[in-house]
Structure 1
């Protein structure tokens, strides 16, 4: 572990160090990227009645706020999607046949905010980032809650992580995640839940997750998935 990372760990709130311990994270591990595969279903629109099955591969950095999620859906994977955050820039594309654009988000602060919130919410799948990513800002919340933030200026965000009785991440909540990457951005309460925790490669990881928007007091689930494979390199 580098001197910088060691110094950062000593400055973390005790609740954050406890969270890392409960998840099985050990200081000194040198691997910096999580890779995982998922199967699941999602909705093309919030009010859609039907679900679209997908398979996905994702990489998540444990040292910087970065991830790359690539999915295929539809018959023979004819529709592909990419949701990513790299070098401080967000990306969201949907393509048909691999080269026909269906949707593509333009660069904006709202897009970066949304992708940063996703990264923070998915720390349950990249728990080593709790100790290794020095760009994260932590503070203790109410009972069973820890707040984690990242970004600066107009892209600064914060997500509330809720813990279960075992001290593991059970959910993530942001009160103002942009529901659209183009104006109007529609800041909307957004919530994710994790379940089916298993001991895997020395860590406690959730093998199931779901995400939804809260609109006018009603929750609208739009994404559900299971982790099929998880590793680090």
Structure 2
């Protein structure tokens, strides 16, 4: 059958449109899943109990930890229930790969411990979470086609550890309690330990001369079979709604004694209330190189 010019042009236009349509549908599906799951995550958070921070409760904590809390929390600060944030930055899909631009959203709950992070690049959507005591990683091509992921004990431990370290964005969560303990090491560091649903995770926390958390160090699964030394660095602290928290974070693994960063994020928006998903914005559209330009070296 001979194809006329009109049909040829129609088929060509369809062929060009399909990838764009597939990408748009994938992004929309990822955004829907994120809103649904974040709503469920925040539904688990109890109403505020009216508890506030008092410096007197720091008695007995290691000296650098006491200085940290006095520095970042104002007296009378209500305990935070959770947060939502948007970030820009750069990311590596493998330690040997080049940097790519990424934008993301993260949602964290204090009690029970939990978080959902979703990042989006030009070609894939990545999802990291710790919900109801279970960790999970999911990566989807064009936001729709699963290409990588995992669940199980290693992910449960790794994601709970991520929640603990990234609670520098939610510092009332790190105040001593039934599940949180601090152990003295020296005048510039302390060990932070969390127990939750039978799991125990711990990290070494280092503080600078300004009494800010600058680095956290712990062993974490790099893949299904390998553990590695995991380093998270924080800098450029600023006050968000009265609470002093880092504006920039970087995650690395140490391989054969060499620190190899794979994620560099800069916070663009952070809110402690309301506990609800963002509408649109980052993590629903592909990141551009310009969006990542502010990430630290």
Query: TM (normalized to structure 2)?
Result: 0.68
Over 3 Å counting, the alpha-carbon distance change for 1:27 and 1:57 in structure 2 is: same
What displacement does 1:14 show?
A: 5.1
- The C-alpha deviation readout for 1:14-40, integer Å capped at 9, x for no partner, is 543432221125456154011111001
Q: Is it true that 1:179 corresponds to 2:222 in the alignment?
A: yes
Q: Is it true that 1:72 corresponds to 2:120 in the alignment?
A: yes
Match in the other structure for 1:40:
89
Q: Is it true that 1:55 corresponds to 2:103 in the alignment?
A: yes
Q: Is it true that 1:116 corresponds to 2:164 in the alignment?
A: no
Over 3 Å counting, the alpha-carbon distance change for 1:36 and 1:226 in structure 2 is: same
Q: Where do 4+ consecutive residues of structure 1 move more than 6 Å?
A: none
Match in the other structure for 2:10:
none
Structure-1 separation of matches of 2:258 and 2:112: 34
- Structure 1: segments with no counterpart, 5+ residues: none
Structure-1 separation of matches of 2:176 and 2:110: 6
Over 3 Å counting, the alpha-carbon distance change for 1:25 and 1:96 in structure 2 is: farther
Selected match of 1:138 from 139, 160, 182? 182
Structure-2 separation of matches of 1:14 and 1:27: 21
Q: How many residues align?
A: 223
What displacement does 1:65 show?
A: 2.2
Higher strand fraction (1 or 2):
1
Counterpart contact for 2:220–2:228, Cα < 8 Å: yes
Structure-2 separation of matches of 1:225 and 1:10: 31
Tell which structure's C-alpha radius of gyration is larger: 2
Query: TM (normalized to structure 1)?
Result: 0.85
Structure-2 separation of matches of 1:226 and 1:178: 24
1:141 match: secondary structure: strand
Match in the other structure for 1:211:
251
Structure-2 separation of matches of 1:111 and 1:99: 22
Match in the other structure for 1:95:
140
Structure-1 separation of matches of 2:170 and 2:136: 20
Selected match of 1:29 from 73, 78, 88? 78
Structure-2 separation of matches of 1:45 and 1:34: 29
Match in the other structure for 2:194:
150
Selected match of 2:233 from 186, 193, 207? 193
